[in-house]
Every structure is written in C-alpha cells, then in structure tokens.
Chain A
Amino acid sequence: MQSRKLRCKLQCFLFPSETDHWLTLLRIGLALQILLYCLSLRSDWFQLFAGEGHGLISSDLTEAIVSAETVFTPRVGWIVVAGNYLGLDQDSILWFVWGCLVCGALCLLAGILSRSAAVLVWFLHLCTANSAALFSYGVDNFTSIGLFYLMLAPLPDQWSLDARIRHATPKDHRAQGFHRRILQMHMCLIYFFGGIAKSVGVGWWNGTSLWRALTRPPLNVIPPDFLIVGKNVLPVLGILVCIAETGYPFFIWPTKSRPVWFTFIIGMHVAIGIAMGMYLFALIMVVLNTAAFGPGLIGAKKVTLKEQAIVSR
C-alpha cells in the first residue's frame, strides 16, 4: 500500500501535465544562442578550428586530446575528412559548418523541421565544442545540455511553423511535463553543486572572489576605481550568490518563493553578462532557467487531467 502510494507520487512528480510553452522558450532561446555563438566567433572561426600550422592551437591536437578519452566524440575533423574526400579544402568545409549551424539555428527559431534542425545543431555544436575544447568554458557545456534536451523533447511545439503549417500534432502533455521536469531537476543540481563548491572557499564570504572575478582580465569591464566605491557591498553580494545557488533546489519549487528566487537568479546572470562581458554565458543561463521555471511563473495555466483527456481523444 505504502509503496503503491510512493510510486503514484513519483509518477505524478515525473509526469505532470504541462503545456509546451517551456519548449517554445527553449527552442527560440537556444536558436538565438547558437546564432550569437556563430556571429561572435565569425572573425576567429578559422583560427579556432583550423588544423596544423593554421590556427592558434591546431584543432588536430585538441581533437587528439579529446579523442584519447573516447573515440566516439564528434569533432570537426570528421567533417573535414568527409569534405576532403569530396574534394573540398579545409577553408570551405569550416565555412560550410558555420553556415549549417546558422541555417539550423534559423530553422529552430522559426520552428521549421524542428526535430531535424535540433539534431543537426546539437551535432555541429558538439563537433565545434570538442574541436576547440582547449578554448571552451561553461557556456559550451550549458549550450550542449540545452541542445541535448531540445533534441529529445517532444517537438514540435504549438508555436512552431511545423505545427502551424504542416499541422503536426502537438505531443502529449505528460511527455511535455516529463521533459520539462528533467530540465528543472538538472538546473537544481547545477546550482546546488555550483553553490556548494563556492561556499567552501573563503573568498566568496569576504568579497575577494567577487572582486577578483570583476577585476580579472578579460572580465574587467567595470573599472576598479568604480568598483572600489562599493567595496563594502562585495562580501554581501558574494554571500548572496552562495545562498542563491545552494538554496536554488529548495526555494525554486514552492510557489511562494519561486518568483523571488527566479528573479534573483535571472538578475545575477544579467549582472554577470553586463559587468563581466559574458553575454553568451548570461544568455544561455537565462534561457535554461526561463524554460525550466519561467512558464508557471508568468501565468501559463497548467493543463488539467480533464483537458488532457479531451486533447488526446
């Protein structure tokens, strides 16, 4: 009896009935993220992904390091080999990859061929992230996470052109709920462990970590002469960051504390974007948070079991 009750509770938690608004936010947000990723790296694209003797660090070396871990790691080198077989040179192939990423992102933005576009963009982004792994930072991991979930999610959503033009059937609301739940729980783990790791360092409690993060080139967007004015606020902000991140899994679920926590976390990422020049990092975190916890917050109504029965009839 007890185990049956527990199973039922688990079932209700993992498969809530949800609309697909979260998926629309995730699809459009990731499309914008990939477009900005391509545009921001456009001038250095060749330098980052060229082979021996051309780029800053040869992608051949990076790929060799990455593939020592697993030979199945997708990389730009695979596409270059395939292109060479067809008689294309490295320059053309690298720009072809760039073009495919942009086209894939535009398809995602509009919701045309959503599933195929999501798979293509996930694969190409993974290839570029792996081939330039020595240059990567958190933004690449979070983009990969988002694209992985988008690729597996019940696409197309009702706001995509696929659903509007081709009248593709909207997917079952419980599947929507399950996929959103995975993203929500992943976000909780991200912040919890990020918060714990920061909290054990002295620097986050006395403000020096925040000071160092804000004055460390190339993140020193704000002049230190200006920052020093708010010197006494830095320890408070550092502690708030630790509390917000570690407390995320506990305060983001209750309906009363969710708006406060969500607003603080979004504010923190916007501030990181502005004060440290990490625009892409800020955008991906805002996108993932908004897709995970945004829709319920801004008043999207939950689908009741009765409504779901009507839809599935």
Chain B
Amino acid sequence: MRVAFFAVHFSFILLVCLRDTFSVLAESATFFPRSLDRYWRAGQAITSVPLGETLSVDNPIRQGIAAYLRGAGIEAGYGYFAPNVPDNYKIVFELHYPDGRTDYELPRVGGAATGLRLSSLLDRIAEETYEPLRATFVRMLAYSIWQDHQDAMSIRAVVGYVELPDPDEFERGQKESYHALFAYDFDFSKAKSLGR
C-alpha cells in the first residue's frame, strides 16, 4: 500500500516537473536553438496526458488529479527565476480630480511580506493573455485605490515594466527606465454619486 502510494505520488511530482521544464524550454530564451521548440512542446503535451490535462475540464479523473496535486502542493514545478529572472512590473494610478488636479498612487500594502506577494500579482497581471481578465484585475486594484481617494472622478491605471540596468550599464551611470505596456481608464464619477 505504502509503496503504491509512493509510486503514484512520485510519478505525479516527476510528471509535473517534466511538464514545467519542457514549458520553460519551449517558451523562454535558452541555450537551445528555437528549432527544438516543437520537441519541447511535444514533451509538454505528452507529460500533460497522464496528469489528465487533455480530458474535459469537468471529467472527474482530471478534477481528482488536480485536487490531489493542489492538496499535496505539487501542482507546479520548481523553475523559480528560471531560465532567466523576469521583468519587474509596476502599476501606477493617475487620479483625476474635478478641480483638474492629478495625483499619482501606487498600490499600498501594510507589510513587506504582502509587498512580495503584490509583486507576484503584478507579474500575473502583466503576463495574463486573456484581456478581459487582465482588465478586471486592474479595475479591482483601481477600485481599492479609489476607496482611499473618493474625491477622484476617474483613474488611469498604467501597467508597465521597469528595465533595470545590467552591471556594466549601472557602472556607466545608467538608471532604471519605465516602459508602459497597457493603460486603462476607469470612470468613478457615478460610483461617487451612488456612494453619497
């Protein structure tokens, strides 16, 4: 019984690790030539089969495997900061007031531990490919900012990445630069009148 559990459990860990490693190889800049990408994708597809990922979403086997993986904390591989350290994303809120004044705000959290988590959230927002979902995330963050600035009529949220200088550039005095990726405008004038 124990050996059977061991075999199944380790097969899952191994499959998840292989799937994520193939994904890193297929989607990121690595030493390998791009011509090998199709093989990495094939590897990723093959390892997804025993994990039930090719079954329909409501299939009980797929649901059961996914629940087990989440319960055991083994649903993701271990390629942190791999193969390269990702870009650093930032969100800036531009608050517009009725008197024409403009203020700038960043998302605020109470502690450093949540600051690290906020950085994970920004990575996910910037890398989200489904546009309506990304807009929803940004709108929620904008709303949390508006709650502290209820005089603001509208908020423009700009998601961008910070390009950090490499060691040589830093030595030459080059500073970090900010590049906008997406911008969203949210009108809170109605929310304000409803709130009052």
Chain A residues near B (Cβ < 8 Å):
14, 37, 40-44, 47-48, 53, 55-58, 61, 68-74, 126, 130, 132, 134-138, 140-148, 178, 182, 185-186, 189-191, 193-194, 196-204, 207-209, 211-213, 215-219, 224, 228, 231, 234, 277-278, 280
Check B84–A203 contact: CB distance below 8 A: yes
* Interface residue? B45 (CB, 8 A): no
CB distance from B146 to the nearest CB of A (A): 11
CB distance from B105 to the nearest CB of A (A): 13
Check B119–A136 contact: CB distance below 8 A: no
Check B83–A193 contact: CB distance below 8 A: no
Residues of A within 8 A of B85 (CB): 203, 209, 212-213, 216
CB distance from B164 to the nearest CB of A (A): 5
The residue on A at minimum CB distance from B133 is A65
In the complex, identify which listed stretch (B59-67, B96-104, B150-158, B180-188) lies at the interface while the others stay far away. B59-67
**Chain B contact residue count (CB 8 A cutoff):** 68
- Pick from B6, B73, B140: contact of A144, CB below 8 A: B73
Residues of B within 8 A of A193 (CB): 17-18, 20-21, 77-79
- Pick from A141, A189, A212: contact of B73, CB below 8 A: A141
Chain B residues near A (Cβ < 8 Å):
2-3, 6, 9-10, 13-14, 17-18, 20-21, 24-25, 28-32, 57, 62-64, 66-67, 70-85, 88, 107, 109-121, 124, 136-137, 140-141, 143-144, 162, 164, 166-167, 170-171
Check A197–B82 contact: CB distance below 8 A: yes
- Name B's interface SS: helix
Residues of A within 8 A of B83 (CB): 197-204
CB distance from A58 to the nearest CB of B (A): 6
CB distance from A124 to the nearest CB of B (A): 13
The residue on B at minimum CB distance from A277 is B112
Check B112–A200 contact: CB distance below 8 A: no
- Pick from B120, B140, B143: contact of A137, CB below 8 A: B120
Check B24–A200 contact: CB distance below 8 A: yes
User: Between A and B, how many residue pairs show CB distances below 8 Å?
Assistant: 206
Q: How far is the CA of A3 from the CA of B166 in the complex (A)?
A: 56
Q: How far is the CA of A199 from the CA of B2 in the complex (A)?
A: 35
Check A57–B140 contact: CB distance below 8 A: yes
Check B31–A61 contact: CB distance below 8 A: no
> If A200-B31, A216-B164, A218-B112 touch, does A189 touch B67 (CB 8 Å cutoff)?
no
Q: How far is the CA of A57 from the CA of B120 in the complex (A)?
A: 13
CB distance from B12 to the nearest CB of A (A): 11
Residues of B within 8 A of A217 (CB): 88, 119, 162
Check B113–A201 contact: CB distance below 8 A: no
The residue on A at minimum CB distance from B140 is A57
Residues of B within 8 A of A219 (CB): 116, 119
Q: How far is the CA of A189 from the CA of B170 in the complex (A)?
A: 37
Q: How far is the CA of A106 from the CA of B105 in the complex (A)?
A: 39
CB distance from B128 to the nearest CB of A (A): 10
Q: How far is the CA of A232 from the CA of B15 in the complex (A)?
A: 38
Residues of B within 8 A of A137 (CB): 80, 116-117, 120
Q: How far is the CA of A219 from the CA of B76 in the complex (A)?
A: 22
> If A48-B114, A207-B167, A228-B170 touch, does A56 touch B79 (CB 8 Å cutoff)?
no
Check B120–A201 contact: CB distance below 8 A: no
CB distance from A231 to the nearest CB of B (A): 5
Check A14–B3 contact: CB distance below 8 A: yes
A-B contact pairs, 18 of them (CB 8 A): A14-B3, A44-B110, A56-B121, A56-B140, A56-B141, A56-B144, A74-B71, A137-B117, A144-B71, A186-B10, A189-B10, A193-B20, A193-B77, A197-B24, A197-B78, A203-B83, A204-B83, A216-B85
